[in-house]
Amino acid sequence: AELSKGTLYLYFRNKLELLAAIHHRGLTMLTALIAEVLARPITGLEMVRAFSNTLEDFSKKNTNYYHFFVYMESVDASALEPIMDGWACQACNQKGNEIITYLTRAFQIGIQDGSIKDKFNPAMLAIQFLGATRGLIQLSFFHRNGHIVAPSLENITFDARELLRNFNDLMIEAIKNEKI
């Protein structure tokens, strides 16, 4: 159904709040997928790998939502200030916190089941993992959509899945418990 601009602004204060609501919808979908990974009967280390695959698959299958993610992350904080108290921004923050909590839990499970070394702080690992994975997905996303991120990448062809697998392998090797 088509809605007029005037009707939309009965529900949203401005365009940015509307975009935040769309962002929330995408985050809700992504959070549900990540929660499914956490429910699997696998080791924490396997969950970490599955999370990365889930994020990458989501970015490919839901490109419009991923565009919103990239856009909303690029908006200056001062521009968001007028809508920070609104339901959409509050809900987005809640979903972001859920994702970090789920990732932290996966690292905790890995430490508890012995698949991940116990010398790491699970919350720090979750933040580092999410930041690096999102960065690689964003790089791949821009690259496959024809945006040259850096002149040195102009003539390089790379597969996003392979890039993430390489990163996953690197991280898994760094955190896995060799004693099991």
The CATH homologous superfamily to which domain 5-175 belongs is Tetracycline Repressor, domain 2 (1.10.357.10)
Q: Which tokens hold the place of 137?
A: 């997905």
pLDDT value at position 157?
67
pLDDT value at position 75?
78
pLDDT value at position 41?
97
pLDDT value at position 105?
97
List Cα–Cα distances, 28 to 71, 146, 155, in angstroms. 17, 28, 36
This prediction's pTM: 0.81
Per-residue pLDDT of the chain (180 residues; tens, 9 = 90+): 566 766 766 677 778 888 888 889 999 999 999 999 999 999 999 999 899 889 888 888 998 888 778 777 777 888 888 888 888 889 989 999 999 999 999 999 999 999 999 999 999 999 999 888 888 777 776 766 666 666 666 666 666 667 778 888 888 889 998 876
Q: What is the CA radius of gyration of the chain?
A: 18
Q: Which tokens hold the place of 157?
A: 């062809």
